[in-house]
Structure 1
Amino acid sequence: MKKESIFTPTFIINTLINFLFYLVFYLLTSSISTYALQELHQSTVVSLSLSSIFVIGALIGRLWTGNVVIRIGMKRLLYVGGIIFLVLTLGYYLTNSVPVLFLIRTIEGIGFGIGATASGTIAGHVVPASRRGEGIGYYALSVTIAAAFGPALSILIYSHYGFSVLLMLAVILLVLTFAMIFFVHVKEVSKDVLATELPKQPKGLDKYLEKAALPISIVAFLAGFIDSAILTGMGDFSTYLKIPLAGSLFFTFYAILILISRPLTGRMFDAKGDNWVFHPLFVFYAIAMLLVGLAGFFNATVGFALLLVAGAAFGLGYGGVAPFGQAVAIRDAKPERIGVATSTFFGFLDLGVGGGPMILGAIIPMLGKGMVGFRNLFLLSAPAVIIVWIIYILIHGRYQTAKYKEAHNK
């Protein structure tokens, strides 16, 4: 039997749009705190808050979009998110006032949340159900590659050319993104289905959260919070160890291993089920955090090697959280609730990744000065991953084992 195609023109263009959304997010977020520290002379707390406030806006945008995306239309909201993201990015040119920057970052985050959720919903609709794990896995590479190269590109451009050139690149990319939306073609939910299903939609908080997606979303929040230790500390940690190149290559190896493993893990997820992917994922994730911490005990040569191996393990571990978590979140959702399930999952994930730096920024000095504080943070992150693994088993994994046995017995 011939497999249904994943790589349709709309799937490819939509994936590129999501990549550019996330690339701009990382370009601006990775340097905004440095810009606030060096050029606006703000405190560390204020600078890190400028990074995190974007995620709060994104969460608002995601929750609202998940509730209305089917009613308003996926492509239409992709346009709405794109134009808000673009206009508010242009707003950086008009001010260096910190309160105004907080407002810009918040509304810009809302635009990003609307656009990214609309794009994720489109992906859930155009990927064949029989190949959802594999297809969403490929789609999520857009986020992975942006996360791997966005921060490094941001730091490179900012250090050599300044924040204005970084903004110019972000604006150019968003203009390109906006033009690409025209070529996205997706079948919206029919008016007959809307007329039948919308009156049945939940009220109150359930309008914005998909209950079936909550267990895996909680796991994603916790895994993302631990990941924020890498985002917050890898640059400083590798600099302390006098191997900043290893800090950059960590993310390169992370991306390479995801690219290599994704076809296998995607097919395994579809054929074998959740636990066949998630159990190894947590093992590699814990190993990665342990190796990063251990790099702080050795000389530069050994530390360099450990960070590269850790980056590879990180790709095999944390690199699977977003794609397979999203596939789980939308799997049991009705077509008109895929948007809600998508916004629920990524809202929790973004909250963990984006909120983590603010909390960890206060925790790191308590764990030691300079390199020691970061090293201890990474070492403690390894058992923290094991705890998240146990939580996964308790709230999701054990039910998947039962489902697999039931299906196998039939």
Structure 2
Amino acid sequence: MNKSKLWTKDFISISLSNFFVFFTFYILLVTLPSYALDDLHSSASQAGLMSTIFLLSAIISRPLAGQWLERAGNKKVLLTAMIVFTGASIFYLFPKTIGGFLLVRLLHGVGFGMATTAVGAIVADIIPSSRRGEGMGYFVLSTNMAMVLGPFIGLMAIQKWGPHIMFTLALIIAMGSLITSLSVKVKKAEEPKQIEVLSTFSFRSLIEPSAVPISTVGGFMAIAYSSLLSFVTIYAAQIHLASVSSIFFVVYAIVMLISRPFTGKCLDQFGPNYITYPCILLFAIGMFVLSHATGAATFLLAAGLIGIGWGTLFPTFQTIAIQNAEPRKRGLATATFLSIFDTGMAMGSFVVGMMAAKMDYSSLYSLFSFYIVAGAVLFYLFYTRNRKKNTSIKKEQQSRVQEI
């Protein structure tokens, strides 16, 4: 039997669009706080609001975007989102006050939330169902590559050429997301029907219930992952490894890229249980090794273990969230997953910051290695056990039908 084709023009285009969105996001994420402090002479708390307001507007806009996907269709929401995202990128060139920049961040966060929700829903329709685990793994890799390149390019641009060039570069990259999204085709069969959802609006209509359990697991794990994004560079400097801290996420991405074909195919062939529990263990071991790193070798070994562990868990959780939803609810399932995940990231940055003020980073990462293991218990309770119940119920129903 011929294998369903994965690497189509539409899959490549939507993955590139996602890459450009996150590339822009990471360029600004690492440069705006220092720009606010150095050029706008803001306080540290005002500089921190740059990220907080962006994430809050993204979290709020995602459920709305998920419902709009049902109403207006994937392609319309995608193009609208990319126009808002790219348009907001233009405004970074003009404000001269912290208040003006916070307004731009608010608008940009709305575009980001809409764009990532629409892209996630469309790629779920483009990927063949028989290769969804493998396809989602490659798709999420576009986010990870942006995470590696964005901070590097952003810091280099603002340090060598100044903030105006950096903002111009971010705008050009954002335009790439709009251009690549124009070529994505959504089949007519995938367009949602104009059903009664148009006349109903409630909190329940903003979330997809089937995606909540696995999204909760993802948000729980995101708290641990946020400690890496926020503090691994500072930790590296404290243990006298600042010279190799810049390649931590490079090693993370390379190992993830090498492992992706195997982990994705394993998910499709054997199911989530066979891939999730080993990857939770690898993630925990990687965090434990990081907490005891004394040289470049152990520091980068931790990056590799985390790259396989967390780098596989995130697309696995997102795949489960999408597969559990009805086809027309995939956009809402994507929005639910990303909203809860980002909430975990936002909570993690705040909680980890408070913890870091009271303990050293080595103890912090050691503690998180045990926290991650607790995530395996949560996965069992929220996914594995429920799946076993559903399977047993189906078997009972089939046996009754056969008896009749």
Q: Same fold (TM over 0.5)?
A: yes
Q: Which residue of 1 aligns with 2:271?
A: 273
The letter of the residue matching 1:341 is A
Q: Deviations over 1:334-353 (max 9, x none)?
A: 12100000000111112222
Q: 2:253, 2:352 → 1: CA distance?
A: 24
Q: 2:212, 2:379 → 1: CA distance?
A: 11
Cα 1:162–1:352, aligned 2, differ >3 Å: closer, same or farther? farther
Q: Which residue of 1 aligns with 2:257?
A: 259
The letter of the residue matching 1:313 is L
Q: Which residue of 2 aligns with 1:379?
A: 366
Task: State which of 388, 393, 397 in structure 1 corresponds to 2:375.
Answer: 388
Q: 1:245, 1:404 → 2: CA distance?
A: 52
The letter of the residue matching 2:382 is I
Task: State which of 218, 229, 233 in structure 2 corresponds to 1:220.
Answer: 218
Q: 2:224, 2:19 → 1: CA distance?
A: 23
Q: Which residue of 2 aligns with 1:370?
A: none
Q: 1:137, 1:42 → 2: CA distance?
A: 40
1:361 aligns with 2:353: yes
Shift of 1:202: 7.5
The letter of the residue matching 1:249 is I
Mapping of 1:57-206 within 5 angstroms?
57-189=57-189, 194-195=193-194, 197-199=195-197, 204-206=202-204
Q: Deviations over 1:10-32 (max 9, x none)?
A: 11100000011011001101111
Q: 1:220, 1:375 → 2: CA distance?
A: 24
Shift of 1:319: 0.8
Cα 1:273–1:29, aligned 2, differ >3 Å: closer, same or farther? same
Q: Tell me, what secondary structure is at the counterpart of 1:194?
A: coil
Q: 2:377, 2:129 → 1: CA distance?
A: 29
Q: Which moved more, 1:198-207 or 1:399-408?
A: 399-408
Q: 2:348, 2:382 → 1: CA distance?
A: 22
TM-score, normalisation: structure 1: 0.91
Q: Which residue of 1 aligns with 2:402?
A: none
The letter of the residue matching 1:362 is M
Q: Which residue of 2 aligns with 1:34?
A: 34
Q: 2:216, 2:132 → 1: CA distance?
A: 21
Contact 1:149 1:251 in 2 (8 A): no
Contact 1:274 1:400 in 2 (8 A): no
The letter of the residue matching 2:272 is D
Q: 1:18, 1:188 → 2: CA distance?
A: 22
Cα 1:173–1:364, aligned 2, differ >3 Å: closer, same or farther? same
Cα 1:405–1:145, aligned 2, differ >3 Å: closer, same or farther? farther
Q: 2:307, 2:383 → 1: CA distance?
A: 22
Q: 1:230, 1:376 → 2: CA distance?
A: 14
Q: Deviations over 1:270-295 (max 9, x none)?
A: 11111111101111111121122112
Shift of 1:408: 11
Q: 1:56, 1:188 → 2: CA distance?
A: 33
The letter of the residue matching 2:249 is F
Mapping of 1:287-326 within 5 angstroms?
287-295=285-293, 298=294, 302=295, 304-326=296-318
Unaligned runs of 5+ in 1: 368-372
Number of equivalences: 397
Shift of 1:176: 2.2
Q: Tell me, what secondary structure is at the counterpart of 2:187?
A: coil
Q: 2:301, 2:182 → 1: CA distance?
A: 42
State the superposition RMSD in angstroms: 2.3
Q: 1:272, 1:200 → 2: CA distance?
A: 39
Contact 1:52 1:357 in 2 (8 A): no
Q: Which residue of 2 aligns with 1:332?
A: 324
Q: 1:339, 1:156 → 2: CA distance?
A: 36
Shift of 1:208: 1.1
Contact 2:57 2:109 in 1 (8 A): yes
Unaligned runs of 5+ in 2: 399-404
Shift of 1:119: 0.9
Q: Tell me, what secondary structure is at the counterpart of 2:7?
A: coil
Contact 2:125 2:190 in 1 (8 A): no
TM-score, normalisation: structure 2: 0.92
